[in-house]
A and B are shown apart, each in its own frame.
Chain A
Amino acid sequence: DIQMTQSPSSLSASVGDRVTITCRASQSISNYLNWYQQKPGNAPNLLIYAASTLQSGVPSRFSGSGSGTDFTLTISSLQPEDFATYYCQQSYSVPRTFGQGTKVEIK
């Protein structure tokens, strides 16, 4: 199985900050990488697929990059509604494993 490791596990940031979350795969997954946002008590919401393609309706302050084993989710200017937990998921092979999550908290 492909292991997905996110870093950091949590971070504190202020509104307006640029935030970067990293996801590393245990083997190359090309660009078969999805990012989701989850707010407490809610189901996850798709942000990005194919490593860098923004899902329809997702604000442009979110962006994704990477290929192979190393990937990044960037929020260019953190907004109050962005405080949440973010997960990466590989879709290269089954089982379609998730990272452990990164919780973005208010500083």
Chain B
Amino acid sequence: EVQLVESGGGLVQPGGSLRLSCAASGFTFSDQYMDWVRQAPGKGLEWVGLTRNKANSYTTEYAASVKGRFTISRDDSKNSLYLQMNSLKTEDTAVYYCGRVGYYVISGYYGATHYYYMDVWGKGTTVTVSS
């Protein structure tokens, strides 16, 4: 069964740090890009960032709201994804989801077109930033 399980959430004071983990199973983790998405209480979805796979040098991208404070990493030997969150603010309070990035490729005359989407989601882990 394809599964993602987040852990590491909790209560932290403003300015503090927290590291979230996402354990993957049921698929070849090392092949996949992986995303983090968050959802503040009663609000919509906010894309946090992504990590690409080894073939794409494990490069990362971040939303402007977290860039410089959050770091995404992965350990393919452990089938695990991480989100290191530093300098936390009250507005970082949210449920954090990890997600597998699926892709659909169409080959054409001018090359291949890649469509990316989150096709597997974890159940989420809750982070509360409060004094």
Name A's B-contacting residues (CB within 8 A). Answer: 1, 31-32, 34, 36, 38, 42-46, 49-50, 53, 55, 85, 87, 89, 91, 94-101
User: 22 A-B contacts, Cβ less than 8 Å apart?
Assistant: A1-B64, A31-B115, A38-B45, A43-B97, A44-B37, A44-B121, A46-B119, A49-B119, A85-B44, A89-B45, A89-B47, A89-B118, A91-B116, A94-B61, A95-B61, A95-B64, A98-B45, A98-B46, A99-B44, A100-B44, A101-B44, A101-B45
Q: Which residues in A have their C-beta under 8 angstroms from that of B116?
A: 32, 91, 96
- B38 CB to closest chain A CB, in angstroms? 11
Q: Are A34 and B117 in contact (CB under 8 A)?
A: yes
Distance, CA A97 to CA B37, complexed state (A): 10
- B32 CB to closest chain A CB, in angstroms? 14
Q: Are A49 and B47 in contact (CB under 8 A)?
A: no
Q: Are A49 and B117 in contact (CB under 8 A)?
A: yes
Distance, CA A85 to CA B50, complexed state (A): 24
- B37 CB to closest chain A CB, in angstroms? 8
Name B's A-contacting residues (CB within 8 A). Answer: 35, 37, 44-47, 50, 61-64, 97, 102, 104, 115-119, 121-124
Residue among B63, B102, B104 making CB contact with A95, cutoff 8 Å? B63
- B78 CB to closest chain A CB, in angstroms? 22
> Which residue on chain B has the smallest CB distance to residue A44?
B121
Q: Which residues in B have their C-beta under 8 angstroms from that of A85?
A: 44
> Which residue on chain B has the smallest CB distance to residue A34?
B117
Q: Which residues in A have their C-beta under 8 angstroms from that of B46?
A: 98
Q: Are A44 and B118 in contact (CB under 8 A)?
A: yes
> Which residue on chain A has the smallest CB distance to residue B45?
A98
Q: Which residues in A have their C-beta under 8 angstroms from that of B64?
A: 1, 95
Q: Are A98 and B115 in contact (CB under 8 A)?
A: no
Given A43-B124, A53-B104, the answer on whether A97 and B47 have CB atoms closer than 8 Å is yes
